[in-house]
Structure 1
Amino acid sequence: MNPWPEIHRQRLAVADLLDDLKPADWDHPSLCDGWTVRDVAAHLTLQQLRLRDVFGLVRHWKGGMHPTIQAAARRQAAALTPAQIVADIRDTAAARRYNFGVTPVETLIDLLVHSQDIAIPLGRTHPMPPEAAAVATRRVLTMRIPPPPPSVRVVAGLHLTATDIGWSYGDGPEVRGPIAALLLVSTGRTVALPQLTGPGAALLAARSQTA
């Protein structure tokens, strides 16, 4: 799958989602622990970082990649108004640059997952295309460089089966559910656990609580 047409569509869809937010929504907690909706939205304006930009991140190193990325998102959120964040995402929708050190599929993963980080806590529905979610989930589960998220260990030894598209991955007790839910759980979003069934679902839920 060429990810760029879907990246274009997802950026426009995220911009439309953000356009519809009330002022108070921007300060609402997202699914990302310690991140507001505004932080997550600002993070999505940082999808075209070059090597020199990475050196800039290193200058603001916070002891680990996750806190460093979070700090960069907060700086961006403080520097831009909500309208500017939306405009930036929409204006760069068709751009085919991507962050140094990753692939374009990671850009797609960010859009698919972070849009849910924004929508779900606000009680909004933001559809995720199953075909794109399938590509993203397989990439998350097979990543080596950059390293996969720690949540990938939670689904290790389980057989994941999508119920809305022909897709499966892994061996072991089966866990069934929509591909969007499988992607969210594979990236540490336990809010999707109730959508999953099968012999391995209880094991997955137990692992998620102790991860």
Structure 2
Amino acid sequence: MNLRTLAREERTDLAAFLETLSPEDWETPSLCEGWRVRDVIAHAISFDEIGLRGHVERFARGRLNPNRINAIGHAEYAGREPEELIAILRSNLDPSGFPAAFGGMIGFADGLIHHQDIRRPLGRPREIPAERLRPALSVALFAPVLLGVLRVRGLRMEAADLDWSFGRGPVVRGPGEALLLTIAGRSGVVEELEGEGQPILAARVG
């Protein structure tokens, strides 16, 4: 499993999807609380152009706090026009800098989850390729910041549409995409899951 390759494939698909959006679509609220579609993409590409020195400066300004660091990056790109955001993504399909850390883990997880963060509110579902969805489920459990393993502790997660499971305890079962977003902490999606462990997980994600 080459996460850098998977990240490039996902970012390529994301760029192609963004090119189909209307101006109204870009202003639609996403699954990320307080962020529109354009805000999600501004965040997603905010590390691609800054280089090593830019990374060091941003992490220092954010005092190594992920929320502060992301807020700084988002603020720097939130005013860009959609065409410019897409162009930056197209020019940086291979993750670099912080998104390339851990073998591309962060860039891959960030790209795939944020892709769904904007597709769902727009009513534009897709079938995520199994060769990406399966590793994304595992990555979301242990990726820095997400740390979904803490959210699903004491539960057994089972995908209904592909060969993937994790953990022990009361079962939570459902589509792999819904499991992924719930592991990542997206509220509302947990309603699509079932099993005796579902109420426990629902209480954790809100």
Q: Do they superpose with TM above 0.5? A: yes
Summarize the Cα distance change of 1:193–1:61 in structure 2 as closer, same or farther, 3 Å threshold: same
- Distance in 2 (alpha carbons) for counterparts of 1:38 and 1:74: 12
Residue-by-residue CA offset, 1:148-176 (whole Å, 9 max, x unaligned): 43654331110001111111111100111
- Distance in 2 (alpha carbons) for counterparts of 1:154 and 1:126: 25
Structure 2 partner of 1:126: 126
Structure 1 partner of 2:77: 76
- Distance in 1 (alpha carbons) for counterparts of 2:86 and 2:7: 15
Post-superposition shift, 1:82?
0.7
Structure 2 partner of 1:19: 19
Structure 1 partner of 2:96: 97
Deviating more after overlay: 51-60 vs 197-206: 51-60
| TM-score normalized with structure 1 length | 0.85
SS in 2 for 1:176: strand
Residue-by-residue CA offset, 1:12-67 (whole Å, 9 max, x unaligned): 21112111111122222211112221111122223545432222213543893213
Summarize the Cα distance change of 1:142–1:58 in structure 2 as closer, same or farther, 3 Å threshold: closer
Q: For this pair of structures, how many residues does the alignment match?
A: 204
Of 153, 156, 166, 1:156 maps to 153
Post-superposition shift, 1:141?
1.6
- Distance in 1 (alpha carbons) for counterparts of 2:118 and 2:190: 18
Post-superposition shift, 1:108?
0.6
Summarize the Cα distance change of 1:112–1:168 in structure 2 as closer, same or farther, 3 Å threshold: same
Alignment of 1:1-211 (within 5 A): 1-48=1-48, 50-58=51-59, 60-61=61-62, 64-78=65-79, 80-93=80-93, 95-99=94-98, 102-103=101-102, 104-143=104-143, 146=144, 148-149=145-146, 152-209=149-206
- Distance in 1 (alpha carbons) for counterparts of 2:203 and 2:95: 40
| TM-score normalized with structure 2 length | 0.87
Superposition RMSD in Å? 2.3
Summarize the Cα distance change of 1:100–1:28 in structure 2 as closer, same or farther, 3 Å threshold: closer
- Distance in 2 (alpha carbons) for counterparts of 1:113 and 1:207: 19
SS in 2 for 1:30: coil
Summarize the Cα distance change of 1:126–1:73 in structure 2 as closer, same or farther, 3 Å threshold: farther
Structure 2: tracts of 5 or more residues without a match: none
Structure 1 stretches of 4+ moved >6 Å: none
Deviating more after overlay: 166-175 vs 22-31: 22-31
Post-superposition shift, 1:124?
1.5
Deviating more after overlay: 62-71 vs 166-175: 62-71
